[in-house]
Amino acid sequence: MSYDLEWVELPEAVAEARSRYESCTTRTAGGLPCDHVPECSKSYFSLAEPFQFHLNISGMGACRDGMRRAGMTYQAEHRPFPAWPFKDIKDWLAADQARRDAFDAAERAASAQTVPGKAGIPEFKLLSNGPWLVGAAEIAQALDRYEEAPAGVRAELEADGLWRDWLEWLRETAVRGGFTVS
Ligand SMILES: [Zn+2]
């Protein structure tokens, strides 16, 4: 398992490539080919690359540990995701746009969920491929907590290159609407 993280608010051209890729992925899952030139997946992956962060299991584990030590995350149970209300991809493709939009909105709300009264990033968003959405406010709270963490803890964490990259990622995405985890 690995974790693919991406800015929520992508530059316009990249966001367009992503939405073309997403709708084409649905079509291809329904049996239709991607006959676009260049291929939707290729243009999306190459354009989005500068706005992504990839972690393997141990890398994400190290970031989670560091965040926990610095008080940037909290542990909680998450609410379940909405059940897929369609029979199959064909049913989804044939469904009313309003019905599809309603499902997308419900799924997005589940992805973005936080626990009222808690500050920082819920750890469950960094424990599975969700898909999760870590919002800008959660990241800002986590970074505030980091500033308040003991200098010794920060110095120890910042001796590690992965942690420095992770901090940079948090600072960058805090002003880009946050990041997705899939
Ligand atoms: Zn396509």
User: Mean pLDDT across the chain, nearest whole number?
Assistant: 95
Average pLDDT over residues 119-131: 96
pLDDT value, residue 92:
87
- 92 CA distance to ligand 1 centroid (A)? 18
Are residues 6 and 180 in contact, defined by beta-carbon separation less than 8 angstroms? yes
DSSP string computed for 131-169? -EEEEHHHHHHHHHHHHHS-HHHHHHHHTSHHHHHHHHH
Residue with tokens 């003991």: 150
pLDDT value, residue 32:
81
pLDDT value, residue 15:
97
Average pLDDT over residues 29-38: 84
Tokens of 147: 């500033």
Average pLDDT over residues 104-125: 96
pLDDT value, residue 89:
84
Are residues 81 and 72 in contact, defined by beta-carbon separation less than 8 angstroms? no
Which residues fall inside 5 Å of ion ligand 1, going by CB?
24, 34, 36, 40
69-104 burial, b if ≥16 CB within 10 A, otherwise e? ebbbbbeeebeeeeeeeeeeeeebeebeeeeeeebe
Tokens of 19: 């939405």
pLDDT value, residue 28:
82
Give the span between the Cα atoms of 122 and 142, in whole angstroms.
10
Q: Is the per-residue pLDDT at 30 higher than 80?
A: no
Instruction: Give the confidence band of 65 by pLDDT, cuts at 50, 70, 90.
Output: very high
- 36 CA distance to ligand 1 centroid (A)? 5
Instruction: Give the confidence band of 50 by pLDDT, cuts at 50, 70, 90.
Output: very high
pLDDT value, residue 29:
78
Instruction: Give the confidence band of 11 by pLDDT, cuts at 50, 70, 90.
Output: very high
- 43 CA distance to ligand 1 centroid (A)? 10
138-180 pLDDT tens trace: 999 999 999 999 999 999 999 999 999 999 999 999 999 999 9
Residue with tokens 């973005």: 112
Calculate the alpha carbon distances from 51 to 17, 47, 80 in Å. 13, 8, 28
- 17 CA distance to ligand 1 centroid (A)? 10
pLDDT value, residue 152:
98
Give the span between the Cα atoms of 18 and 27, in whole angstroms.
14
Q: What is the pTM of this model?
A: 0.92
Calculate the alpha carbon distances from 73 to 85, 116, 123, 145 in Å. 33, 14, 6, 9
Average pLDDT over residues 19-33: 85
